[in-house]
């Protein structure tokens, strides 16, 4: 490099760029689209951190590398990464690979623009508007507003910020110290982002009042009513209820109609965290689980989960038509949102958000929807419910599988009771021993790379598996595999 | 579709997926990698919103579409999108196309995972650690912490939240009402995200005290000192100074050493918003612009800007070694951050952030760095400075171009004075007429699609152009083009 020219600058050389990109794209097709989705391949190739560090040679040096080396680096990255598109990756609320959505993501990355102005993102400003309109229509709203956020947690924070701003617009300028103490309400089964949001937004986690859930994980409206009275008696001002459609562990749906009644009585903003369950609205058969959602003031819905749009695709939807988003978040930066432009500056939607640069998250969903149609997406949702039912029935036929509860959604919570613990439910150390089973099985499945499924303790319950049936490519054979594999991995426990 | 099968479900059909992806990838290569970066092609193909809506046929319907239709939809999306990789896209702080970074983005999208646990993102947890370590080393820190955020605005908010939490840990639980009124300080040239962040975090925009900048846009330390005294006299508690390295419009660098002295005297957290200017640290020749940055407590740095890593790649870097990020943001969700895992759970870094799912933003930067080496990246930075110098000298040779000031960075702020206004500087309506020139020229260049460059008013100055020299593929010919094109577009004004 004595001449000062890097071997791989490629700047302004589209031929060399094409060659590199073709190599990497070919590898993606072979290693991810084919092998990554094949049941006969591994889900993951476990390495201890120290070994993986060595294998990856992560250090960033002064000297550049050759094109061949770069291609091999991509190969290593793919090899040691978990294949979340694999049919036996049951670990998260997202899984699978939708090729249309992936095509949309590749186009998005290649165009590399920011969603703030019509000037530099004309297609995506209009497309986001249309996608959000469609999602709102599924909520039952003929009008409203919305925006794609970097994840459901931030969508939930937006709802909190909008609710307090609507009630106390002076908050934006004068801050929370100018306000009375505020209280918001959510169930004990809510996503942890509500707590994180309350802390980040300066409300403090004490402002979050946890409402009791019933045995299935659904908020109890009577307890909500009671908690509101309690907060008021303590001098706090209730301003928001965050209900959940599809809780993270149990997959529970809060009773929205009853909760909306309470909100109506007390004049509270109703937010629905439907990050996980929102996609059920696409199914005529199952959308009753979200009955009442049209009464919400705001909804968080992540099509990157059940709809497989790809991380991240998270919509915050608003019933508001008064431009609350812009009033609440706007800062009128004159270098970006010039008012003397030659087109309608209402199309410069970037001032609605607290970000400046914002990724394009609409194309992947739009393209997938165009390809599948609403009918195709509905079929996916219905199929996930049907496969869940199949799994549950098969589980009941086998010794050693114990459901935590009959699932309402596609979360199947169950214990695998290994041979040594069967019939020992009465033993004093049963629960303690059972708690160790899921972590032990998880270690075995990951180290063999055959499958991934999550577990957790829950209230007084010992560690149990939370199986997620979301990947649209799943078949009954994959459900059978899960059961057989747990039996195989746990036969000596 | 009477048989219930969508023509394009493709679920579980890797052959069909490959075929679709190959078509779209081929189009990306042809339309973006080749034509999008060619100076002889258009930067954009302007359409009025109503016409564009019609051309795109955005509506999402119940029926799906054929593979051919989907491929044509991608073609339309690309056709009507702005080519931010084009050598005549001078409009934003990001531009250009780095093929290694794009390869990294394609792999990232294909692997589709979330950055929260070693369990599902082993490669990227270790890689993020290494990339952040490298960025910290360039700041002069041998240890510390950090995380990639969805954009510099959110990085800045993190800094605010960490600073207040460090001073008042009870804030997380009890909220801002339990605290005295807080004050933070930044210059009048700061990015608007400081205001947005103060509002979002519940501090209120009143808590932001704007410090005077000098004629070149640099914070005046003496005025900072004065503002701190003023805030204290008003009963507020100063807690944070946000300095800027590379302001958005003028490209100014605040004097960090002097500001750090003030912070040290008053015990204030020093945050440096180096979203734009941070990448200058790669250049031995120019890094003096950020002298003193090693004294910061936190730094926001966006390699998606000058380094062309792709949207978004935004690091928040911390000098802290006490795990402040996790203490401040952690919520210990038991379904995700199980403590009884079989590996070191310190690798589950997701609880450091306020997001839950978080995109992988490190691979694109890591891969580009591996390919270019630190030397290659340094050359890019030096070249951007050199081309800026070339442009400025050429500008001075031509009638009709008036610099707002000599640039310190790669922002070139200037007026194009059209023939009818030359020599009329003394006219009472000169400024009013000059203000209309940039918007008129912008309309012309966009409608012809030949070039894009931003403009804005600034304090008392009428609209001027802010030219950004960032794309690593730029040559002196592109600088000449800018000047010639403005002369051509403005000859009759």
- The answer for residues whose C-beta is within 8 angstroms of residue A67's C-beta and 6 or more apart is A8, A16, A19, A20, A23, B371
Q: For position B12, what pLDDT does the model report?
A: 85
- Computed over every residue of chain A, the mean pLDDT equals 96
B55 touches chain A (CB under 8 A): no
| Nearest Cα residue to B105 out of B167, B54, B32, B176 | B32
Encoded tokens for B279: 């990448």
Q: How confident is the model over B23-59, as pLDDT tens digits?
A: 999 999 999 999 999 999 999 999 999 999 999 999 9
pLDDT reading at B284 higher than 50 = yes
Query: B21 by DSSP, 3-state: which?
Result: helix
- pLDDT tens digit string along B133-176? 999 999 999 999 999 999 999 999 999 999 999 999 999 999 99
Reading the block at residue A39, the tokens are: 């049941």
| pLDDT for residue A7 | 46
Both structure tokens of B448 = 């012809």
List chain A residues with CB under 8 Å of B4: 379
- Closest approach of A244 to chain B, Cα-based (Å): 16
User: Kind and range of the H or E element at B482?
Assistant: helix B476-490
Torsional sign, CA B299, B302, B307, B309: positive
Res A5 pLDDT > 70: no
pTM over 0.90: yes
Is A376 an interface residue toward B (CB < 8 Å)?
Answer: yes
Is B177 within 8 Å of A455 when comparing Cβ atoms? no
Contacts of B103 in chain A (CB under 8 A): 20-21, 24, 70, 74
Q: What angle do CA A218, A457, A194 make, to 5 degrees?
A: 50
Contacts of B312 in chain A (CB under 8 A): 357, 359
Q: At what angle do helices B99-111 and A99-111 cross, to 10 degrees?
A: 150
**Cα-based torsion angle of the residue sequence B464, B470, B473, B474 in order, rounded to the nearest 10 degrees:** 30
* End-to-end CA gap in chain B: 59
At residue A4 the predicted structure's pLDDT band, cuts being 50, 70 and 90, is very low
pLDDT of B490 over the 50 cut: yes
A63-118 pLDDT tens trace: 999 999 999 999 999 999 999 999 999 999 999 999 999 999 999 999 999 999 99
Residue A190 reports pLDDT greater than 80: yes
C-alpha separations of A189 from A183, A290, A459, B61 in Å: 18, 16, 10, 35
What confidence score (pLDDT) does residue A481 get? 98
Nearest neighbour of A74 by CB, restricted to B58, B107, B151 = B107
Query: What is the predicted pLDDT for the residue at B10?
Result: 83
For residue A56, give the nearest of B80, B123, B369 by CB distance: B123
Q: What is the ipTM of this complex?
A: 0.97
Asked whether B365 and B307 are in contact (CB, 8 A), the reply is yes
Task: State the pLDDT at residue B5.
Answer: 43
Is the pLDDT confidence value at B14 over 80? yes
Q: What pLDDT score was predicted for residue A8? A: 56
Measured CA to CA, the distance from residue B417 to residue A241 in angstroms comes to 57
Residues of A in contact with B177 (CB under 8 A): 176-177, 179, 181, 204
Q: Would the CB atoms of B20 and A103 count as touching at under 8 Å?
A: yes
CA distance B17 to chain A (A): 5
Helices (H) and strands (E) in chain A — how many of each? 15, 12
* pLDDT (mean) for B84-94: 97
pLDDT digits (tens, 9 = 90+) for A260-295: 999 999 999 999 999 999 999 999 999 999 999 999
* 3-state class (DSSP) for residue B98: coil
pLDDT at B371: 97
Q: pLDDT tens digit string along A361-375?
A: 999 999 999 999 999
Using the beta-carbon criterion (under 8 Å), do B100 and A70 form an inter-chain contact? Answer: yes
**Burial classification of residue A490, based on how many CB atoms lie within 10 Å of its CB (0-12 exposed, 13-18 middle, 19 or more buried):** buried
Condensed to tens digits (0 to 9), the pLDDT of residues A461-475 reads 999 999 999 999 999
Q: Give dist(CA A163, CA B439) in Å, integer.
A: 37
Q: To probe the interface with A, which of B38, B73, B90, B99 has the most A CB atoms within 10 Å?
A: B99
């Amino acid at each position: 490099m004595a001449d000062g020219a890097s071997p791989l600058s490629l700047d302004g050389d589209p031929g060399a760029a094409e060659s590199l990109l073709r190599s990497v794209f070919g590898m993606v097709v072979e290693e991810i689209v084919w092998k990554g989705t094949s049941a006969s391949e591994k889900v993951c190739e476990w390495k201890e951190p120290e070994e993986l560090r060595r294998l990856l040679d992560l250090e960033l040096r002064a000297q550049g590398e050759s094109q061949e080396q770069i291609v091999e680096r991509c190969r290593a990255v793919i090899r040691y990464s978990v294949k979340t598109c694999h049919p036996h990756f049951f670990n998260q609320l997202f899984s699978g690979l939708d090729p249309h959505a992936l095509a949309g993501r590749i186009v998005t990355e290649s165009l590399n623009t920011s969603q703030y102005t019509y000037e530099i993102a004309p297609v995506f400003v209009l497309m986001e508007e249309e996608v959000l309109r469609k999602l709102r229509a599924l909520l039952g709203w003929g009008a409203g507003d919305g925006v794609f956020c970097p994840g459901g947690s931030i969508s939930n924070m937006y709802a909190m910020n909008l609710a307090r701003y609507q009630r106390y617009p002076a908050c934006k300028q004068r801050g929370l110290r100018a306000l009375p103490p505020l209280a918001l309400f959510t169930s004990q089964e809510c996503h942890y982002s509500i707590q994180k949001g309350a802390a980040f937004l300066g409300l403090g986690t004490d402002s979050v009042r946890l409402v009791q859930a019933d045995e299935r994980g659904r908020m109890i409206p009577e307890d909500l009513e009671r908690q509101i009275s309690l907060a008021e008696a303590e001098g706090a001002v209730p301003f928001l209820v965050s209900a959940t459609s599809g809780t993270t562990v149990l997959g529970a749906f809060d009773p929205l109609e009853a909760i909306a009644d309470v909100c109506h009585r007390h004049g509270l903003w109703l937010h629905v965290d439907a990050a996980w369950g929102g996609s059920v609205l696409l199914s005529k058969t199952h959308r009753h689980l979200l009955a009442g959602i049209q009464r919400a003031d705001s909804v968080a819905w992540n099509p990157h989960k059940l709809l497989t749009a790809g991380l991240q695709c998270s919509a915050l939807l608003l019933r508001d038509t008064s431009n609350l988003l812009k009033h609440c978040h706007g800062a009128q930066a004159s270098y970006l949102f010039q008012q003397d432009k030659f087109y309608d500056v209402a199309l410069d939607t970037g001032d609605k958000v607290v970000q400046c640069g914002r990724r394009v998250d609409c194309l992947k969903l739009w393209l997938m929807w165009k390809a599948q149609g609403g009918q195709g997406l509905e079929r996916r949702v219905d199929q996930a419910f049907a496969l869940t039912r199949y799994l549950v029935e098969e589980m009941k036929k086998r010794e050693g599988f114990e459901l935590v509860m009959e699932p309402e959604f596609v979360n199947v919570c169950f214990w695998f009771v290994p041979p040594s613990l069967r019939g020992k439910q009465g033993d004093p150390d049963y629960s303690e021993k059972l708690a160790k089973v899921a972590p032990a099985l998880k270690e075995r499945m990951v180290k063999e790379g055959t499958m991934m499924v999550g577990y957790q303790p829950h209230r007084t319950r010992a560690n149990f598996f939370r199986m997620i049936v979301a990947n649209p490519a799943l078949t009954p054979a994959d459900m059978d595999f899960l059961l057989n594999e747990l039996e195989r991995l746990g036969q000596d426990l």
